[in-house]
Each structure stands twice: as structure tokens, then as C-alpha cells.
Amino acid sequence: MKFHLTSATLASFGLMCASLTGLAPLKLSANFSPNFPDFTEAAIAQDAAPTVTTTSDSKAIELAKYLTKKGAKLYTAYWCPHCHNQKQRFGKEAVRQLQVVECDPRGVNPQTELCRSKKVRAYPTWEIDGKLYSGNKSLENLANLSKYRGSL
């Protein structure tokens, strides 16, 4: 079996490889995923995270209060869609109970030095009992990590 490669085929293949490896600049629209918030130019220009729109249930609020009482922190960056999704899991009322730390120096009330001193490398990152856990966590996972004994 013989393959005939044209310059157009090679160029397309090269662009695809560059895109997959991050070498080609890509612009993702807000419609890329239905789970990602609307990161509009205006929101990014304000250096503020999108508003949390979900409503908390009483169990999420109690878990958030417990995490804060325990000294847990949620390290985020205002532009991070995974951070927003983590907050959406809790809901707006529960997020008000959490200790959320903005790591990007361009964000609102940044605590960049704290993030650096804790060696936060990814967003979101939870600090629970002095240990760092990166990634968007389910409420059940956070309850287990923090030894929460309430119901979810």
C-alpha cells in the first residue's frame, strides 16, 4: 500500500500536531463546554471570577463551615474554569463560608505570596490539614479528606 502525501496534507498534519502539543495558539470560546462558565472579555478585563449561580443546600453549607473551622483553604485563580466549577458544586451560599484564596496577582484581593509559600502548582488546590490536594473535588471526597462526619 502506497501513500501519497501532498504539501497540504503535511501542513494539516503539522498544524494538528502543533495544536495538540500547545505550540499553536488556540482560542477557545465560552461555548467549548457546557460546564465551563462564560469567561467573557468583560469578566476577564475586570480580573474577577465569574459569579457562582448555583444554590447551596444545607449539607453543602455545613461542609463549608466545617472546612473553614478546620482551617481548610481553596486556592484558585479568577480565570480558572475548574475553580469556578468547584465553587458551583458548593453553591453561592456555601462558597461565602469557604476560605477562598486568589493566587493570580491580577485577581481581586490576591494572596500571591501565600500561594507561592504553599507551593500551589495547579488550580483549584485544596489545603486540608496541611496537605495539598489539587483538582475539582466532589463534596463527598472533600468530606473524606477532611474527616467530616456530617451527612451529605
Q: Where are the domains of the chain?
A: 58-146
Running DSSP on this structure, what letter comes out for residue 47? Answer: T
Name residues whose C-beta falls within 8 Å of residue 95's C-beta, 6 or more positions apart in sequence: 52, 56, 64, 87
Tell me which amino acid residue 100 is.
Answer: V
Q: How far is CA 43 from the centre of its chain?
A: 16
- pTM assigned to the model: 0.71
pLDDT in tens, the chain (152 residues): 444 444 444 344 343 433 333 333 323 323 233 344 444 454 555 678 999 999 999 999 999 999 999 999 999 999 999 999 999 999 999 999 999 999 999 999 999 999 999 999 999 999 999 999 999 999 999 999 999 999 99
Task: Return contacts of 144-149, CB within 8 angstroms, 24+ apart.
Answer: 146/66, 146/67, 146/70, 146/72, 148/63, 148/66, 148/67
User: Which top CATH class is 58-146?
Assistant: alpha beta
